[in-house]
Amino acid sequence: MNDYIDLSTCKKFDKFEDMKEIVDDYGNNVQHHRSNLFLIFNSTVLKEHKQRRQKYFDKYKLKKPTEIIIFTDSFSYSSTSFFIKGLQETGSAILVGYKGNPKSSEFFEASHSPSAVSSFNGSDIYNNLIDSGFEIIGTTFFESYNYSYQIKNPIPREYLEHPVDERVNIYQNYDDSLYDKFINEAKKIFKKYNEDQYCNKDNLKLLYDPNNKEECYTFENDPYAHGGYECDPLTGKWSTFCKPYYCDIGYYFDVFQNKCIQDKCTENTDESDEDKEDEKFPVWAIVLISVVSVLILVICNNYLLH
């Protein structure tokens, strides 16, 4: 079987039966049948990501979350959706919506379907559909979870809402002729969140990080954690309430437990030679890789800050 990695040990399951079937019961006769949660990246791949983060960190040119602006028209799935939702769930960027309904000021969902897709090219079903005049562009076959996987009956990310932080009056499909318009809108938003100190009072995950290794940087109860200032929901401006949101390299910030956890996949030195030899990156996982390696299923995803 492919490498399916146990979430708790970072060791691969030997067989499908070890992954077990779990039934989530949400009440009202709504049940969800799934396997045990697993990772799609093995230790070898994660250690490569760790080395890459270290190189960025050593350049001393780190960006604050409020200095990273992502424009989205909401239509995204698979890798792009992992990318966007990963940033939102860890408070790592400002998400700005464009297009949408010009008659509505509603802050729409930033992305859709953070799940793995495949065309199943070459399978009997795929070939039969092609012969009948149909083509499979992409079918969901893996779903993903955020850090709330630790609760009973966790909800797949497909059903969690993550609206944009801002909307702009751009309703065309993007092309290079609109480049300056996007830049001008980004400058306005940058000024609002940084110089003018305003924030999105409906998004308490996005924090203002002084990024000077002095203010809101050290936490006595968690020596590996570092933080930023939360938005005041009453004033819509950055408060003086400091809370952690990322960790030293070698740890990841568990937003459910609200603390830094040592990354077993990159810090474990007890791997046997056989385990290392068996660690191979599964080809099917390529569809899940986001452009900044936003890792699903509780892998540390403060990549842009480290």
What's the rounded Cα separation, in Å, for the pair 111 and 144? 14
- How far is the CA of 23 from the CAs of 5, 7, 27, 29, 96, in angstroms? 20, 18, 12, 12, 36
Task: Work out whether strand 94-97 and strand 69-72 pair parallel, antiparallel, or are unpaired.
Answer: parallel
Could you give the 3-state DSSP secondary structure of residue 229?
A: strand
Cβ(240)–Cβ(216) under 8 Å?
A: no
What's the rounded Cα separation, in Å, for the pair 209 and 181? 27
What's the rounded Cα separation, in Å, for the pair 44 and 56? 19
| Total residue length of the chain | 306
Neighbour-count burial for 213-231, b at 16+ CB within 10 Å, e otherwise: eeebbebeebebbbbbbbb
pLDDT of residue 136: 82
What's the rounded Cα separation, in Å, for the pair 252 and 261? 5
Could you give the 3-state DSSP secondary structure of residue 273?
A: helix
Cβ atoms within 10 Å, residue 12: 20
User: Would you give per-residue pLDDT tens digits along the chain (306 residues)?
Assistant: 467 888 888 888 887 778 888 999 999 999 999 988 888 888 889 999 999 989 988 887 788 999 999 999 999 889 999 999 999 999 999 999 999 888 888 899 999 899 998 888 889 989 999 999 998 888 888 899 999 999 999 999 999 999 999 999 999 988 899 999 999 999 999 999 999 999 999 999 999 999 998 999 999 999 999 999 999 999 999 999 999 999 999 999 999 999 999 998 988 645 433 444 444 434 333 333 333 333 333 333 333 333
The single-letter code of the amino acid at 142 is F
- How far is the CA of 228 from the CAs of 186, 223, 253, 260, in angstroms? 22, 15, 13, 15
Task: Work out whether strand 139-142 and strand 116-118 pair parallel, antiparallel, or are unpaired.
Answer: antiparallel
What's the rounded Cα separation, in Å, for the pair 244 and 228? 6
What's the rounded Cα separation, in Å, for the pair 114 and 85? 7
The tokens for 299 are 């892998």
pLDDT of residue 220: 93
What global pTM score does this model have?
0.81
pLDDT of residue 268: 62
User: If we measure between CA atoms, which residue out of 2, 6, 93, 3 comes closest to residue 298?
Assistant: 6
pLDDT of residue 300: 33
Neighbour-count burial for 268-298, b at 16+ CB within 10 Å, e otherwise: eeeeeeebeeebebbeebebbbbebbbbbbb
Q: How many CA atoms lie within 13 A of 224 on its CB side?
A: 14
